[in-house]
Structure 1
Amino acid sequence: MAAALPAPVRSLLAAIAETLDVPAPAPGRDAEVAYRLLVEDRARVVRVILHGILTGDETRDIDWDARYLRERAAERPVTYRTLDQALDGNDGQS
């Protein structure tokens, strides 16, 4: 049986999944462009973190990396109309 992943690694993997898990855009150029820009930005942040882990020293604080990913994702929330909103007839406005 495989060994369980250390808690910091599990937290980092969860943060990566959360960061990259963005809802599909509603049909239309504006939502699709906003979606693409958001996904590209979040993927860039994930790549930077992973590059730092893979090329850095072994004392890197992976818990900090996970928190950083979550904070960056919170700074760039979904602002476009999502496919679910379109299907529900919701205009995406609060």
Structure 2
Amino acid sequence: MSESRHDYTADTAAKDSPRAASTLSSDVVDLLAAIRDALDVPLPGVEDRDERRFCRLMDDRRSAVYATLKALLDERDPRIIARDAEYIRRRTADTPITYTVWQPAGGEQV
């Protein structure tokens, strides 16, 4: 199962904007997509173990996003945007989902 419910590239994300045109650079769109993908994870199952793993995963991914945004705001150098998007993607890949995903009573995944 894929972690993310979305599979957008920078171009696809720009095309899906309400006006079908983006005023954001492709690097910014890619960074925003990396942030979305890092934080868009399924809910954990009801076991305490699953909730603890979910919390650790989200703490790690949030810290990667926070560090990236802090660096961007502190340095204000647009040349690092692509590097930071890759950093978030690498951290996301390094922290896969290891918990049981919550399933509704009927077994259909949300």
Q: Normalized against structure 1, the TM-score is what?
A: 0.83
CA shift for structure 1 position 4: 1.4
Q: What SS does the corresponding residue of 2:97 show, helix, strand or coil?
A: coil
Determine which structure has the larger helix proportion and give its number. Answer: 1
Change (3 A) 1:76 1:25: same
Counterpart residue number, 1:37: 56
Determine the C-alpha separation between the residues in 2 that align with 1:45 and 1:71.
10
CA shift for structure 1 position 21: 0.8
Amino acid at match of 1:55: D
Q: What SS does the corresponding residue of 1:83 show, helix, strand or coil?
A: coil
Unaligned ranges ≥5, structure 2: 1-18
Counterpart residue number, 1:25: 44
Q: Over the residues paired in the alignment, what is the CA RMSD in angstroms?
A: 2.4
Q: How does 1:51-90 map to 2 (within 5 A)?
A: 51-84=70-103, 88=107
CA contact (8 A) 2:28 2:81 kept: yes
Task: Name the % identity.
Answer: 36
Determine the C-alpha separation between the residues in 2 that align with 1:70 and 1:64.
10
Q: How many residues are matched?
A: 89
4+ residue runs of structure 1 moved beyond 6 angstroms?
none
Q: Normalized against structure 2, the TM-score is what?
A: 0.72
Counterpart residue number, 2:29: 10
Q: Which has the higher contact order (CA 8 A, sep 6+)?
A: 1
Amino acid at match of 2:81: I
CA shift for structure 1 position 28: 1.1
Counterpart residue number, 2:4: none
